[in-house]
Chains A and B, each alone.
Chain A
Amino acid sequence: MRALALVLLCSAAAVRAETPVAQLPLPCDSKEQEIAPNGAAVAVRCADGTLQLLAVPSGRQLQHFPAEPKRTGIAFSPDGRQLAIGYWSGKVRVVATSGEGAAREWHASDHRIQGLRFLPGGELLVVPLGRDTQVWRLASAPRLLASLPSGFAEATAVALSADGKLLVAATGDTELRFYDTQSWKQVRSYRGLVLESFDVAFTHDQAQLLVGGADKQITVLDAATGALVRTLPRRDDVVGQLFPLNDGDSVVATYFDADGKRPPYLVLWSLRTATAQPLAGSREPTFTGLVGGELWFASSAQGGTLDIWKR
């Protein structure tokens, strides 16, 4: 009994472990940020509509983007050196995070750019549009590689396997579409979901695909066949993001209340045991991201400063 209590205490301590990374002065009122995957920069969405790119840990301003033209999405490249910005007008702009060098800019659509995602390697940028998902190769002159049909609604999340051969897109029509990236043909689909998915991610060993969304649960699929493996127990709230960790077993999920009445929170799942532990931080996180395989959080809830820590 005493041994069990000790194990539980140690587990709780491990879950609560927090290591400070940086504390930056915030240049504006901000409740939303995004960390670059290399941990060297953070994009701060200001309440006045501007976007500020700050160096971590110094807090030095790297770039400033005005409120107009109106942005509708941003994404860092996997190495953190590029930032893609989507605009309401359908324009896409890719800049070096450092601010050096010329920006690449093109008009992808007449439709607003809802979300952007770099694929591993950073050479390909996925641009979800109204009824298709565009894949662009980023060179000095960006080139459209493929336009993937996405039913009656745009892609809400995409994931690329580590070997770059398989692209999976979750679309608003609740279908998951699997594409061969050599031919850009759809090779299979999964239609077992009835609500939208907000994130898809391959597990660290690439064997499984994790899907989370409005159905309040994490669905585990076989990545090679697209067949259902299992669903993890449903919770009361919607799954927003999924972060599979390097240990091959753990995945951190962000959950949010669909009615917007409660703050978002994090849960650490074990895929092997299908058990969950709330990640009880001392502060309400305003971003969560993976940096070098570690989970980073930040909070601007205190006002005036951005506290970044990792577990």
Chain B
Amino acid sequence: MRRPLHRRELLENCLALGTLTLVSPLSMGGLSEAWAASEQRRTTPFGELGPFYKRGAPASNVLRAEGDPGMPLALSGVVFGTGGEVLVEAKVEVWQTDHAGHYDIDGFRYRAVLAADANGKYAVDSVVPGHYPGRVAQHVHYLVTAPGYKPLTTQLYFATDPVFDGDPARNFHRDPLIASAELVRPVMIESDPKTVHARVQFDLVLEKA
């Protein structure tokens, strides 16, 4: 028997179906509040760590340097515990390829450790990663830790990735490493007179240790 969808799941599924949406930033904020209103949360699905994790990434929330090619990406979210509590001491480590699908393993380009703020929020400016050879889908790696909680390794995917053919809920299996359609996030394309950029919200939920 199918269980009824919770409000948060319904919102997520709706968003996952829309692969390219033109919205104002306020809409994302409203959705975030709606998600936060839900109390119990499921742990964010696991994603592979490697193979190019690098210890010692700098604490910086700006990964994109002036003149870097690729679509600017504003990535943000809130770190929760499964009880819905906001984890203000969380650390969010992210790493990804550059626009061309290349990991920097000699240095620390597109690698950072972010500290959650007093509201459990993290945010980073980057570019939409390219396709790494050997992987099907574009992705951003996450390692999330918080005192008293189990570390989480996961990956964020982009609903706009052509590999999903506009239907990530149905086609997420095309990349065998994607454990759940929940990890494929809607991409909001926003524009102002000067730039067009992508905005993705990825909330993270950790399980108590």
Which residues of A are at the interface with B, using a C-beta cutoff of 8 A? 70, 111, 130-131, 151-154, 156, 172-174, 193-196, 198, 214-216, 238, 258-261
B103 at the binding interface (Cβ < 8 Å):
yes
CB-based nearest A residue for B144: A152
CB-based nearest A residue for B104: A258
**Complex Cα spacing A193 to B55, Å:** 8
| Contact among A173, A194, A258 with B103 in the assembled complex (CB-CB below 8 Å) | A258
Q: With a CB–CB cut-off of 8 A, which chain B residues contact A216?
A: 105
Interface of B is mostly: loop
Q: With a CB–CB cut-off of 8 A, which chain B residues contact A152?
A: 49, 143, 145, 151, 153
B56 at the binding interface (Cβ < 8 Å):
yes
Q: For chain B residues 121-164, which have a beta carbon within 8 Å of chain A?
A: 133-134, 143, 145, 150-151, 153
**Complex Cα spacing A258 to B52, Å:** 9
The 4 closest A-B pairs by CB, nearest first: A260-B133, A152-B151, A153-B49, A172-B49
**Complex Cα spacing A154 to B49, Å:** 8
A194 engages B133 (CB within 8 Å): no
Interface of A is mostly: loop
Between A and B, 21 residue pairs with Cβ closer than 8 Å are A131-B151, A151-B151, A152-B153, A153-B49, A153-B53, A154-B49, A156-B51, A172-B51, A173-B49, A173-B53, A174-B54, A194-B56, A195-B52, A196-B52, A198-B51, A214-B51, A215-B105, A216-B105, A238-B105, A258-B52, A259-B133
B50 engages A261 (CB within 8 Å): no
Q: With a CB–CB cut-off of 8 A, which chain A residues contact B176?
A: 70
B35 at the binding interface (Cβ < 8 Å):
no
Known pairs A70-B176, A131-B151, A172-B51 / 17 extra A-B pairs, C-beta < 8 Å: A131-B150, A151-B151, A152-B143, A152-B153, A156-B51, A172-B53, A173-B49, A174-B53, A194-B54, A196-B50, A214-B51, A214-B105, A258-B52, A258-B105, A259-B101, A259-B133, A261-B133
A295 nearest CB across to chain B (Å): 24
Q: With a CB–CB cut-off of 8 A, which chain A residues contact B55?
A: 173-174, 193-195
B49 engages A195 (CB within 8 Å): no
B133 engages A153 (CB within 8 Å): no
A176 nearest CB across to chain B (Å): 13
A286 nearest CB across to chain B (Å): 16
Q: With a CB–CB cut-off of 8 A, which chain B residues contact A70?
A: 176
CB-based nearest A residue for B108: A194
**Complex Cα spacing A225 to B151, Å:** 29
